[in-house]
Amino acid sequence: MSARRPAPGLKSRLLGWLLPALALLVAVNTIATYRTALSAVNTAYDRSLLAVARAVADRVELRDGRVVVEVPYVALDFFESDLRGRVYYRVGGLDGRSVSGYDDLPPLPAGVPRSEDYFALARFYDDHYRGEPVRVVALHQPVFDDQTRGMALVQVAETLVSREVLTRRLMVDTVARQLLLVALALLVTVVVVHTAFRPLGRLREELDARAAGDLSPIETRDVPREVGALVAGMNDYVARLRGTLDRQERFIADASHQLRTPLAVLRAQTGLAAREDDPARLRETLSAMDRSVGDTIHLANQLLTRARAQHGIANPSFGDLDLAQVAREACLELGGEAVAKRIDLAFEGEHPVPLRGDPTLVRELVKNLVDNAIRYTPEGGRIAVRLSGPGEPAAIEVEDSGEGVAEADRERVFEPFHRLASSKQPGVGLGLSIVRDIARAHGARIDLGDGAGGIGLKVRVRFPPPASPASAPR
């Protein structure tokens, strides 16, 4: 399999878009400049051609009813020598016959409009004469005497050689200037792009110089505003990554600290059992080992549950769910433990309770509430799991007949690994800590109170209305 080619860099992409666009603009500008200059040249040539025609027309007069003209050949010679083209003229009389000049000069075609650029009765048109293209001006000159009035026609034709020479020169000059402009624009573009991307280079150097464990925010003081959003996103990601690593470190520290004691006890019990010869005392030791293993398994499960809950809190996935169904499944799953302690576990929730939240986290919250109630309720006790009524915001209440929690200690029970000194039940002190973290992730509120008759503990978790799930704090 061939290696995948790396994607082009931002600088290459930017230049790849800018340079063709710049070349296109220069090409359009070259064509526009050339056409404008060519129009100006043709206007100047036509004006000169009209000046020659006027010079000839000024010499036209009417004598004895006939048109006569004395052509100023000096003006024609000057015109030819100045513009390096050949000039032909023709003067027509009142009857249209040629009076002077080149008799075979093509006549004025019909339908040629009068030029609006001059006050004179002049008409410009293109034609061919003696196998060459020519530009012709036809000027009507009034003539009169005492008996006759009329219009003489003066035609002056010029070959296009001089115009073509000047056009080529104009084209070369225009293209040369535009190429120089393109070269300068390319140089400026490359320099500007290189300068604009220099902060990215400094940012890369700063990141390359960092140690592997350095997760401090990237400095944004000298970063352009457009790149600042990217850097801010990177800082936000690094902050989340730092939080994940901190949670992993705390999990490792908690696990090593909490598992050290039960494993040491289990090891001591194992050594004691190995040296015990009395069958009755050996069974006692094995029974104690079984309880230690159970407590250790419960501790490991609680630690893993807390780790999963913290990961879910950092990466929540909210969706629509039924709190009643989640609570019912949790009660069924933990019902065996309640039966083993002869606890009356009652579930009061016959209708759906819609809730928007993370299904995994809500399930862990309910399981920890029920498990905590089972663990701290003595044999023969009772536990009631209740849900909010129809039309009310989602809420769950777990009430037990266990030891209860004094009002002065109700804030401390949410601290990780905190256990009441008066408690005689086995546990690790993580259940309510997990419940609090999950409740905060959903914007829910936890209330602790006394059970029925002042006996036991009642825990109530009230979720926010469905209209504001996205505002739940993390």
Check pLDDT > 50 for residue 373: yes
- Torsion, Cα 33 38 41 42, to 10 degrees, reads -150
Note the pLDDT of residue 473: 43
**Polymer length of the chain:** 474
The mean pLDDT value for 184-213 works out to: 78
- Same domain? For 322 and 308 the reply is no
Residue 412 sits in a domain whose CATH number is: 3.30.565.10
Same domain, residue pair 164 and 311? no
The range of the structural domain enclosing residue 63 comes to 10-181
Give the residue carrying structure tokens 């503990």.
457
Give pLDDT, residue 411: 75
The number of beta carbons lying within 10 Å of the beta carbon of residue 379 is: 8
Q: How confident is the model at residue 81 (pLDDT cuts 50, 70, 90)?
A: very low
Q: Is residue 301 part of a domain?
A: yes
Q: Are residues 112 and 84 in the same domain?
A: yes
- pLDDT-based confidence at residue 222 (cuts at 50, 70, 90): low
pLDDT(457) > 80: yes
The better pLDDT of the pair 382, 433 is held by 382
Q: Is the same domain home to 330 and 286? A: no
Assess whether 329 and 455 both reside in one domain.
yes
Where is pLDDT greater, at 357 or 7?
357
The per-residue DSSP string of 281-310 comes to HHHHHHHHHHHHHHHHHHHHHHHHHHHHHH
Instruction: Say yes or no to pLDDT of 201 above 50.
Output: yes
User: How sure is the predictor about 421, in pLDDT bands with cuts at 50, 70 and 90?
Assistant: very low
pTM (two decimals): 0.45
What the block records as the tokens of 460 is 């109530």
Same domain, 245 and 341: no
Give the pLDDT band of residue 468 (cuts 50, 70, 90).
very low
Largest pairwise CA distance in the chain: 166
Q: Is the per-residue pLDDT at 428 higher than 60?
A: no
In a domain, 225, yes or no: yes
96 belongs to a structural domain: yes
- Mean pLDDT for 282-290 is 76
Q: What is the pLDDT of residue 239?
A: 80
As a whole number, mean pLDDT of residues 25-52 equals: 83
- Give the domain-ending residue among 260, 285, 315: 315
The mean pLDDT of 341-363, rounded to a whole number, is 88
Q: For residue 420, is it within any domain?
A: yes
Residue with the two structure tokens 């003081």: 221
Residue 193 in any domain: the answer is no
Domain stop point among 273, 298, 315: 315
Based on the domain organization, do 327 and 405 belong to the same domain?
yes
> Which of residues 83 and 217 earns the better pLDDT score?
217
Residues 473, 355: Cα–Cα separation, whole Å:
16
Residue 2 lies in a domain: no
Q: Are residues 78 and 112 in the same domain?
A: yes
Confidence of residue 7 (pLDDT cuts 50, 70, 90): low
State the number of CA atoms in the 13 A half-sphere of 268 facing the CB. 8
Shared-domain flag, residues 362 and 464? yes
Note the pLDDT of residue 462. Answer: 92
- Asked whether residue 418 falls in the same domain as residue 445, the answer is yes
Instruction: Mark whether 386 and 419 lie in a shared domain.
Output: yes
Comparing 153-157, 199-203, 467-471, the range with the smallest average pLDDT is 467-471
The band of 251, judged by pLDDT with boundaries at 50, 70 and 90, is low
Number of domains the chain is built from: 3
| Residue 217 located in a structural domain | yes
For residue 345, the SS3 value is: strand
262, 282, 315 — which closes off a domain?
315
Mean model confidence pLDDT for the chain: 78
pLDDT at 107 over 80: yes
Quote the CA–CA distance of 305 and 328 in Å, as a whole number.
20
- 385 band by pLDDT with thresholds 50, 70 and 90: very high
- 276: which 2 tokens? 């015990």
- Is the pLDDT at 283 greater than 60? The verdict is yes
Indicate whether 18 belongs to any domain.
yes
Element (H, E) at 366: helix 359-376
408 and 434 fall within a common domain: yes
For the chain, percent of residues with pLDDT exceeding 70: 79
Q: Which long-range contacts (CB under 8 A, 24 or more apart) does 7-10 make?
A: 10/197, 10/200
Most confident among 121-130, 306-315, 419-428, 463-472 (mean pLDDT):
121-130
- The reported pLDDT for the residue numbered 76 is 58
